[in-house]
Amino acid sequence: MSVRRGTALILALVLLGAAWTQPVRGKSEQNVFDMVMLIQVNPDGSAHFDISARLTNPAYRELVKNETDFTKLVEELVYRNLVEDLHERYGNFTVYLPSSGPVEVTANWSARVNFYIVPFLTKGKRGLECPYSGPLDFVSGGKVYSFEFRRIILVLPRNWTVLYTFPSPADRAKNVLIWENADYLPMIGVSTGSPGEGTSKHLSCKPLRIELHYSPEEGKVFFNATYICEAGLPALPGARNVTYIKRGNVTEVRGYFVPRLEYDEGLFRREWRAEIELPEEFPQVVGGSLGKNGSIVITVERSSAGIQTAVPVIFIAVIIALWRWKR
C-alpha cells in the first residue's frame, strides 16, 4: 500500500470513528467486529492468544477495498488495541509473533489474530495470577469503547488447580473456562505443581532439527528450528527477531544469528565462511557442517565479479590470436 493510500485509510478511520455513534456518557460497546478469543496457557506461564474476528460493521466494510486494507484494519483495531491494553497494566512482557505477522486473513470478512505473551501469569500472593486483568478498551477515531468479545475461552494445563476467578465463568469443563459477552480479562489465580520453575523455559524442550541459511548481503544466518516441548518455549541465546509457532507439542522457532565471519576472494570466486554456536546439539542440521568446538559452519561460494570481465577479454584475445594465425 502506498503512503498516500495508507494516510487516506487512517484519515477515513478517524472520520468514521468520530461519526460512529452519537456522543454518549461513558464507553459504548464496539460494534465493528464479532470476536472470540482463545487463550492457551502454557506450563511456564506464557500464553498463546488466538482471536477470530469477523468484520460486521457495514461502514467499515465499505472502507476496506482489498486484503491489504483488511489486514491493516484488523492489526490496528484488534491486535494493537489489545496489546496496548496489556501494556498499561503490566509493561514487563514480551510479544512473540508468527513470521507472517499477527493477522491472517481467512474468508467472509474474517481474520485470525495470533501472538504469544511471555509471561501471562506471574507469581503473586495467591499462586500464579494474571497481572493484565481488568476492562478492555477499544480505541477508534479518538474515542474509547468497550472491547467486547462474544466469548473468551481460557485453557489451563491439566494438572493445574484454579484457586479463584472473578467474575465466575459462564461455563467450565475441567480446566477450560468460558466467559460470555466479556469486555474484560478476568481475574484468575492458579496453583501449579512447581510454580517457581516457570522461568526455566527450555528444560522440557528437546531439539529435533535446524535449517540454516547465510545471507552475505544481510550478514545474517537465518534459522528454522524444530523442538518437541512438553512445556514452555525453547531458548536460543544470541538469536534475534525470534518467533515461535506451536502445533501441539511441536514448536517451530525462526529468527537469525549474527555470525563470526571469514571472507576470501580470488579472481574467479568469492567465499564466505560464517560460524555460529548453538546452545545445544540438534540431531539433524541442514545447511551447515560441524566446525571446531561444536560450532556450526555455513559456507557460501559465488563467482567473482572479476570473472564477468575476464571471460570476455579472454574470448576476444583467443579470436584475435586465431585470426592472426590464419593470416
Tell me how many degrees the CA angle 288-233-120 measures, rounded to the nearest 5.
150
Residue 239's pLDDT band (cuts 50, 70, 90): confident
Q: Is there a contact between 32 and 60 (Cβ–Cβ < 8 Å)?
A: yes
| pLDDT tens track for 279-310 | 788 888 999 888 776 689 998 888 865 545 55
The least confident of 7-21, 98-112, 311-325 is 7-21
Residue 51's pLDDT band (cuts 50, 70, 90): very high
| Domain residue spans of the chain | 3-18+27-197, 205-307
3-state secondary structure of 323: helix
The DSSP result for 54-115, as a single string, is EE--HHHHHH--SHHHHHHHHIIIIIIHHHHHHHHH----EEE--TT-SEEE-SSSEEEEEE
Cell of 314: 579472454
Q: How far apart are CA 37 and CA 82, in angstroms?
A: 11
Residue 186's pLDDT band (cuts 50, 70, 90): very high
Model-level pTM?
0.55
Q: How far apart are CA 274 and CA 213, in angstroms?
A: 10
Work out the end-to-end distance of the chain between its first and last CA atoms, rounded to an integer number of angstroms: 65
Cell of 16: 468514521
| pLDDT tens track for 114-132 | 999 999 999 887 788 999 9
pLDDT: is 245 or 54 the higher one? 54
